Amino acid sequence: MDEVQKGMIALLPRLRRFAFALTRDMDQADDLVQETCARALARRDQWQTGTRLDSWMYKIAQNTWLDQRRSPRGRSEVPMTPETAEVTGADGRRITEDRALLAAVGRGLEELSPEQQALVLMVCVEGVSYKEAADIQGVPIGTIMSRLSAARKALHRYLETGAARNEKVR
Amino acid sequence: MSTVTDHDLLSWADGQLPPEEQQRIGALVAKDPELRARAEPYLKTRIILEEAFAASAHERVPDRLVQLIVSQAPVASEGPFTFAMHASRLAHVVKGLFTIELMRPAALTAAGLAALAGAILLLRPAPSEADLIQSTAEGQFAVGVLHAALESAHSVPVNAALPARTAASVANPVLTFESKDRTYCREYRARDHESLAFAGVACRLVDGTWAIKHHERIAGAARPGPDGGYGPAGSDDMPSLDAVVGALQASDVLLPEDEARLIANRWPEKPDQTGTRTGNE
């Protein structure tokens, strides 16, 4: 294995967390991570030595997920494998315990645009800096902050009132 | 006094400001209920999101994902890569601030830096004083770069495990095996901050520490060869090390992909270690 492969393996737990936050489903999360890794391996010549491997992988994960959201066929095409069942078994208990919180957060996130969801999750869950988020989403840092601010206010409002606002925040 | 904008409060809640600015905004928020109310959506959403998804990073990574990466042919690559700071520790600190006493940005920054330092230590050898091993009443344990290497580095060939000269201490595992008492053990090579070379074996305990089973100075390593290597006195010449490995070893040396799987899963405990036998022995 080379350095990139080792780096990708080390990133797997974080990529899976990001993918789970995006999909809220462990099987779909693993399918997303698998597709992300496959794409990354196929285009590894595009990754520049010395730059952040994690940012590059988050970007691929985000774009893969956005692609899947746009194409309804995307998700069902990926086959299930036995390993994923294992993940939601005994080891999945901690996730199950948080199901109520997860459900509420998931509904709140669905009020946001897909791009906003990805942004909020990469910053809040993955600790990606605004600068990296700007690179990942290909917009200026000021735009990132405006999007984040709007999305976080909307999500907070949703979680506080327990009800969706009538329009989606853009 | 300058106005505090929403972007200031957002950046503050996310710990994205430079330390002085982080401190300044934190102090203002602490004094002003109106600012606190405006910062609340940012802080709360961060805490809730972190909380909701934290557990998923501790799930077992499916083999197929590791296999997908491992099965690719390696490509020659040079130079280190860097990782972003891990979010969870920072967020937990934010949570503590929020529930106990709202504003302690200095503590947040310090803990954030500590987390960052920990992450760097894991990935890159750094100089340190008593750098490889710590002796306690319970025995000797790997610390610093040695601990980091045993925990998360992949094995390298013995002849590549010891760089000629290092400004800082360095450690590399050379092989991994299962021991008779059902722990994972790794043989390593290491150089301390005085550039003395060592070879040894350590086994991972359930609490995540690596107990040193053997640690010896490599004879002849003080005389670097013409190519800068440490000469021919490598693994061939360490009968006591070989004896310790032989006595511990219950399995063959693990294959790179098995090793990668263990590292990716942070050395999962085997059923026998936790007392729930699978009964298929």
CA distance A100 to chain B (A): 9
Q: What is the predicted pLDDT for the residue at B277?
A: 38
Say whether residue B276 is in contact with chain A using an 8 A CB cutoff.
no
Give the count of beta carbons closer than 10 Å to the beta carbon of residue B116.
16
The rounded distance, in Å, linking the Cα atoms of B151 and B263 is 7
Pairing of strands B139-142, B133-136: antiparallel
Residues of B in contact with A39 (CB under 8 A): none
Express each pLDDT in B37-70 by its tens digit: 999 999 999 999 988 888 777 778 888 898 888 8
Residue B195 identity: S
Q: What is the predicted pLDDT for the residue at A16?
A: 94
Q: Does the distance separating the beta carbons of A9 and B263 come in below 8 Å?
A: yes
Q: How far is CA B212 from CA A154, B161, B221, B273, in A?
A: 53, 18, 21, 19
Inter-residue long-range contacts of B133-137, CB under 8 Å, 24+ positions, other chains counted: B133/B212, B133/B215
Express each pLDDT in A77-123 by its tens digit: 333 333 333 445 544 555 455 577 788 899 999 999 999 999 999 99
Q: How many CB contacts within 8 angstroms connect chain A with chain B?
A: 190
3 state SS of A28:
helix
Q: How far is CA B162 from CA B106, B190, B197, B226, B228, in A?
A: 40, 7, 8, 15, 10
Which residues face B212 on adjacent strands?
B202
Say whether residue B21 is in contact with chain A using an 8 A CB cutoff.
no
CA distance B274 to chain A (A): 14
Q: What is the predicted pLDDT for the residue at B108?
A: 37
The rounded distance, in Å, linking the Cα atoms of A102 and B55 is 11
Say what angle helices B105-123 and B144-152 make with each other, to 10 degrees: 70
Q: Pick from A49, A126, A130, A147 the residue to mutate for testing the B interface (most B CBs within 10 Å).
A: A126
> pLDDT tier at B270 (50, 70, 90 boundaries)?
low
Which of A51-55, A145-149, A166-170 is modeled with the greatest confidence? Answer: A145-149
Nearest to B222 by CA among B158, B181, B162: B162
The rounded distance, in Å, linking the Cα atoms of A40 and B198 is 38
ipTM above 0.85, yes or no: no
- Closest Cβ opposite residue B70 in set A5, A16, A101: A5
Q: Does the distance separating the beta carbons of B52 and A129 come in below 8 Å?
A: no
Q: Could you tell me if B11 and B17 are in contact, meaning their C-beta atoms sit under 8 angstroms apart?
A: yes
Residue B146 identity: L
Q: What is the predicted pLDDT for the residue at A141?
A: 96
Q: What is the predicted pLDDT for the residue at B185?
A: 93
Half-sphere exposure (CA, 13 Å, Cβ side) for A153? Answer: 16
Q: Pick from A121, A128, A149, A155 the residue to mutate for testing the B interface (most B CBs within 10 Å).
A: A149
Mean pLDDT, residues B264-281 taken together: 57
Query: Which two three-digit tokens encode residue A66?
Result: 């956005």
The rounded distance, in Å, linking the Cα atoms of B91 and B93 is 5
- Closest Cβ opposite residue A20 in set B40, B53, B87: B53
Residues of A in contact with B77 (CB under 8 A): 2-4, 49
Say whether residue A122 is in contact with chain B using an 8 A CB cutoff.
no
User: Which residues between 15 and 44 in chain A have a beta carbon less than 8 angstroms from any beta carbon of chain B?
Assistant: 16-17, 20-21, 26, 29-30, 33-34, 37-38, 41, 44
The rounded distance, in Å, linking the Cα atoms of B136 and B122 is 22
Say whether residue B264 is in contact with chain A using an 8 A CB cutoff.
yes
The rounded distance, in Å, linking the Cα atoms of B103 and B97 is 6
The rounded distance, in Å, linking the Cα atoms of B220 and B218 is 6
Q: What is the predicted pLDDT for the residue at B2?
A: 61
What is the DSSP secondary-structure string of B104-149?
-HHHHHHHHHHHHHHHHHHHS----SS-SEEEETTEEEE-HHHHHH
Q: What is the predicted pLDDT for the residue at B184?
A: 92
Greater pLDDT, A167 or A145:
A145
Please report the domains of chain A, with CATH numbers, ordered by start residue: 3-74 (1.10.1740.10), 89-160 (1.10.10.10)
Express each pLDDT in B216-259 by its tens digit: 888 765 444 444 444 444 445 788 888 888 888 888 888 888 88
Say whether residue A64 is in contact with chain B using an 8 A CB cutoff.
no
> pLDDT tier at B265 (50, 70, 90 boundaries)?
confident
User: Which residues between 24 and 43 in chain B have a beta carbon less than 8 angstroms from any beta carbon of chain A?
Assistant: 40-42
pLDDT at B116 over 60: no
Quick one: B118 exposed, middle or buried, by C-beta within 10 A (0-12, 13-18, 19+)?
A: middle
3 state SS of B232:
coil
H-helix or E-strand spanning residue A153: helix A141-161
Residue of chain B with shortest Cα separation from A133 = B84
Q: What is the predicted pLDDT for the residue at B76?
A: 52
Say whether residue A54 is in contact with chain B using an 8 A CB cutoff.
yes
What is the DSSP secondary-structure string of A58-116?
HHHHHHHHHHHHH-THHHHHSPP-HHHHHHTTGGGHHHHHTHHHHHHHHHHHHTB-HHH
CA distance B250 to chain A (A): 26
> pLDDT tier at A133 (50, 70, 90 boundaries)?
very high
